[in-house]
Chains A and B, each alone.
Chain A
């Protein structure tokens, strides 16, 4: 079963994502900021990281850089703030496989995660959603 790490300081949104993905059968862990997320990855690697770019302390882009450096096999989907397309594009250039723009539907989230992890016959293609 694929392992997913959610790094987001929005407790409510993280809880919803956690529940939605668990319902899909994924093993989900959560961290509230960059250092905590990196520590969890040290302890046990993950297949996918859902990373909010707007984080307290260390910026999401910096966390992304460190994940790509230390865990090259881990895929990263960034969750960008509202209407911040430039940051999203920067994240994709920095090695993220794609981005989700808030607000998003949980159905969209499940869809994206499944496709990214190569499930439900989506062929694993990276879909970049532009709002």
Chain B
């Protein structure tokens, strides 16, 4: 299998690649390129060292040479000054910007040749200048006198800095003077060294910070992507779950995903409803077809019996009257059965939002004359806040009509019919209670079975069809009854926006 690094590793790799080049360049700059300053200083120092050593060697040589006439007179400051001038003067002249100085041990005066500033400075009295230079060089002179060995130092004159190399001047082992040479360090050069170093460190810090920031942001972003990933996985398993809300643009994504899930859920629900209503419609068509086919032969049987009776002489007819009556009776019963089937087979409507209270008002409106005729008292207690359900309005109406008619039949004359609606855990429920004869315990488990009836002339289909309609709507129908104690049916239908995996049907519980 090909190696597929995660997005996180890819981003980390890109950041690393982006960072590597600037970091290497800066590291090189800091570790090696900035050394160029040191190299320049070293070169300057070397030059000064060479000059000073040359001048020192020349002076010492003159004091040692018998031909110069100064041999052994190194203790005399005037002689020393003359020798110095003779040696250092030409050197200073041939090296502009280099100043050569001599301090005689034990004196408070110095000798100077050459200038640090090629252009010169403001006119200054010679003595004044020498005093100033002595002050500037004093620390170095002191150090050389104490240690007896050459030193290099950086001094300060006005606002300039200069490099200074000092050596002790010894003649025959006797330290007679301190000789030095200065070279001005250009201020731009001095400042830029510090500045460049600072800029380099700041830039390096910025790059490192940027890398750390990017890594942090990526990680932060990545964790949110992980949240979305996990949320989507949950959503894949269960459309009702939601991706957690996040701030910012990722939040817009999660909200879009959630909206999409919402629409998908809605769509799924509609498809499910469509499937159910199509199922009901197909079932209805099949039932109608069968009912029609069943009705035709019975019509013929009835008509044939009728004609047979007509053609008999009265005596013969009297003998078979009982059988003819039976044929007539059974044909009528058969037709009633078919009638129930045809009612159920009426084409189903598209599912819609159904307010059960309103539906029950219509059912009661239709059955009011019947209730009055049998002297039945009606108690109707609709819950005004009952949520709507979704379904086939006509089929649901038929269910409740059926239950009310059953109740009326069970009570016969007089009695009390109670209808109540109430919400119950995501369902809207309708209770239909009568004070009729009740149902025997042995019949109770079978009342929803097709063709099971205890009523004379009952089709045994009413409750079976009602149960099927409720089941298709994802609802439950319950019955509670005692012989002589009346019967209570409760129909619970899922309200809008609830899962439709209603229980598989019926319960008998009191």
- Spot the interface stretch: B47-55, B264-272, B290-298: B290-298
Q: By the criterion CB–CB under 8 Å, are B298 and A103 in contact?
A: yes
Scoring B296, B310, B335, B338 by chain A CB atoms within 10 A of each residue's CB, the highest score goes to B296
A107 to B307, CA, bound (A): 9
A56 smallest CB distance to B (angstroms): 14
A32 smallest CB distance to B (angstroms): 14
For residue B342, CB closer than 8 A to chain A, the reply is yes
A10 to B302, CA, bound (A): 15
Q: By the criterion CB–CB under 8 Å, are A12 and B300 in contact?
A: yes
Q: By the criterion CB–CB under 8 Å, are A10 and B300 in contact?
A: yes
For residue B299, CB closer than 8 A to chain A, the reply is yes
Known: A12-B297, A82-B342, A83-B342. A103 touches B303 (CB 8 A): yes
Q: Specify which of B292, B303, B331, B342 is in contact with A13 (CB 8 Å cutoff).
A: B303
Chain A, residue nearest B304 (CB): A16
Q: By the criterion CB–CB under 8 Å, are B296 and A16 in contact?
A: no
Known: A12-B297, A81-B292, A83-B342. A103 touches B306 (CB 8 A): no
Q: Which chain A positions have C-beta within 8 A of B300?
A: 10, 12-13, 16
Q: By the criterion CB–CB under 8 Å, are A105 and B303 in contact?
A: yes
Known: A16-B300, A16-B307. A103 touches B342 (CB 8 A): no
A10 to B297, CA, bound (A): 9
Q: By the criterion CB–CB under 8 Å, are A106 and B307 in contact?
A: yes
Contact count band on A: 10 to 19
A119 smallest CB distance to B (angstroms): 18
Q: Which chain B positions have C-beta within 8 A of A81?
A: 292
B67 smallest CB distance to A (angstroms): 153
Q: Specify which of A10, A19, A83, A106 is in contact with B296 (CB 8 Å cutoff).
A: A10
Q: What 0/1 pattern do residues 79 to 112 of A give for CB contact below 8 A with B?
A: 0011100000000000000000011111100000
Chain B stretch 292-331: residues in CB contact (< 8 A) with chain A: 292, 295-300, 302-304, 306-307, 310, 331
A105 to B301, CA, bound (A): 11
Q: Which chain B positions have C-beta within 8 A of A55?
A: none
Q: Which chain B positions have C-beta within 8 A of A16?
A: 300, 303-304, 307
For residue A117, CB closer than 8 A to chain B, the reply is no
A81 to B299, CA, bound (A): 11
For residue A41, CB closer than 8 A to chain B, the reply is no
For residue A20, CB closer than 8 A to chain B, the reply is yes
Q: Which chain A positions have C-beta within 8 A of B338?
A: 82
Q: Which chain B positions have C-beta within 8 A of A83?
A: 342
Scoring A13, A16, A19, A82 by chain B CB atoms within 10 A of each residue's CB, the highest score goes to A82
Q: Which chain B positions have C-beta within 8 A of A106?
A: 303, 306-307, 310
A106 to B304, CA, bound (A): 9
Q: By the criterion CB–CB under 8 Å, are B306 and A102 in contact?
A: no
Chain A stretch 103-131: residues in CB contact (< 8 A) with chain B: 103-107
Q: By the criterion CB–CB under 8 Å, are B302 and A103 in contact?
A: yes
Q: By the criterion CB–CB under 8 Å, are A105 and B306 in contact?
A: yes
Q: Which chain B positions have C-beta within 8 A of A103?
A: 295, 298-299, 302-303, 331, 335
Chain B, residue nearest A16 (CB): B303
Q: By the criterion CB–CB under 8 Å, are A20 and B302 in contact?
A: no
Q: Which chain A positions have C-beta within 8 A of B297?
A: 12
Chain A, residue nearest B343 (CB): A83
Q: By the criterion CB–CB under 8 Å, are B306 and A107 in contact?
A: yes
A19 to B331, CA, bound (A): 21
B274 smallest CB distance to A (angstroms): 26
Chain B stretch 421-439: residues in CB contact (< 8 A) with chain A: none
B298 smallest CB distance to A (angstroms): 7
A102 to B292, CA, bound (A): 10
A103 to B304, CA, bound (A): 12
Q: Which chain B positions have C-beta within 8 A of A107?
A: 306, 310
Q: Which chain A positions have C-beta within 8 A of B296?
A: 10, 13, 102
A83 to B302, CA, bound (A): 18
Q: By the criterion CB–CB under 8 Å, are B292 and A82 in contact?
A: yes
Chain B stretch 46-76: residues in CB contact (< 8 A) with chain A: none
A13 to B296, CA, bound (A): 8
A12 to B304, CA, bound (A): 9
A90 to B310, CA, bound (A): 34
A10 to B303, CA, bound (A): 13
Q: Which chain A positions have C-beta within 8 A of B292?
A: 81-82
Q: By the criterion CB–CB under 8 Å, are A82 and B295 in contact?
A: yes
20 residue pairs A–B, Cβ–Cβ below 8 Å: A10-B300, A12-B297, A13-B299, A13-B303, A16-B300, A16-B303, A16-B304, A16-B307, A20-B307, A81-B292, A82-B291, A82-B292, A102-B296, A102-B299, A103-B303, A104-B299, A104-B303, A105-B306, A106-B307, A106-B310
Pick the 3 closest A-B CB pairs, nearest first.
A103-B299, A12-B300, A16-B303
Given A10-B300, A16-B303, A83-B342, list of 13 further CB < 8 A pairs?
A: A12-B304, A13-B299, A82-B295, A102-B296, A102-B299, A103-B295, A103-B302, A103-B335, A105-B302, A105-B306, A106-B306, A106-B310, A107-B306
Interfacial residues, chain A to chain B (CB-CB below 8 A): 10, 12-13, 16, 19-20, 81-83, 102-107
